[in-house]
Amino acid sequence: MLPSTSVNSSVQGNGVLNSRDAARHTAGAKRYKYLRRLFRFRQMDFEFAAWQMLYLFTSPQRVYRNFHYRKQTKDQWARDDPAFLVLLSIWLCVSTIGFGFVLDMGFFETIKLLLWVVFIDCVGVGLLISTLMWFISNKYLVKRQSRDCDVEWGYAFDVHLNAFYPLLVILHFIQLFFINHVILTDTFIGYLVGNTLWLIAVGYYIYVTFLGYSALPFLKNTVILLYPFAPLILLYGLSLALGWNFTRALCSFYKYRVK
């Protein structure tokens, strides 16, 4: 159930925050509040975070509708509850351990792979992509008449997490059931199944990212975020024609990492 909207009592009649409340809404204050709650599990709403994870597959627009409610009630687009990040981290750990098991890795190799995936693939790449999208959206997509509005970096990071979750489930969970007996076989069906899962996963990432930025009313031309679909489909067709197996390459890369 989505939270209802309400008027923020800290907003004055002219629509401007008073000095005390404005200090509470600075980027530093929001970041401090978020990080402080990261170690207080009892204050996290895991039920609502699980609801968001479900709807990222079935109706991602509803997830971003909630971001509108948060802006109206708490004067920020980004999440103030780290529950989603915690659940995503759990998913990432469990699925990576499953990957290590399927690839017949030892205990220490699996731990090493887990550290690589969490801190490099998820956090490191996520920080890079979020910063890049934050810069591009503020530099080129903000409407001229809305220069007083900007995309919060925290929101850009939330959009990345939202888009990363379906990709994680498809490539690190669903794919596990087909790797050894289907995908890694030297057959057309093998790389057809594997590459199709990659197409769906990356396509989900692009689409959910587009929804995240198009949900901001002060951005324009967000449809350009869908343009990567063209080279993605072209690469998919080329991979089938040439017999490239993206999952085999991923597995080889993972094994190389833990040597």
In this predicted model, what pLDDT tens digit does every residue of 31-76 receive, in sequence order?
656 656 666 667 788 999 999 999 999 999 999 998 888 888 888 8
Residue 132 lies in a domain: yes
Is residue 157 within 8 Å of residue 195, measured between CB atoms?
no
What lies within 8 Å, CB to CB, of 194 at 6+ separation is 175, 178, 179, 182, 183, 184, 245, 246, 247, 248
Helix, strand, coil percentages (3-state) for the chain, rounded to 5, are: 75, 0, 25
Whether residue 118 lies inside any domain: the answer is yes
Give dist(CA 70, CA 45) in Å, integer: 14
Instruction: Using alpha carbons, select from 202, 1, 174 the residue that is nearest to residue 91.
Output: 174
Query: Considering the entire predicted model, what is its pTM?
Result: 0.85
Q: Identify whether 12 is part of a domain.
A: no
Spatial CA neighbour of 93 closest among 115, 72, 77: 115
The reported pLDDT for the residue numbered 69 is: 87
Is residue 44 a part of any domain in this protein?
Answer: yes
4 is a domain residue: no
Mean pLDDT of the chain: 86
Q: Does residue 10 form part of some domain?
A: no
Write the DSSP symbol of residue 5.
Answer: P
> How many domains would you assign to the chain?
1
Structural domain contains residue 126: yes
- In the structure encoding, which two tokens stand for residue 220, read together? 């324009």
* DSSP character at residue 183: I
Place of tokens 């289907």: 182
| Distant-in-sequence, close-in-space partners of 77: CB < 8 Å, separation ≥ 6 | 67, 70, 71, 151, 152, 154, 155, 158, 216
Q: Which domain holds residue 172?
A: 27-258
- Tell me whether residue 165 is in a domain: yes
- Residue 27 pLDDT greater than 90, yes or no: no
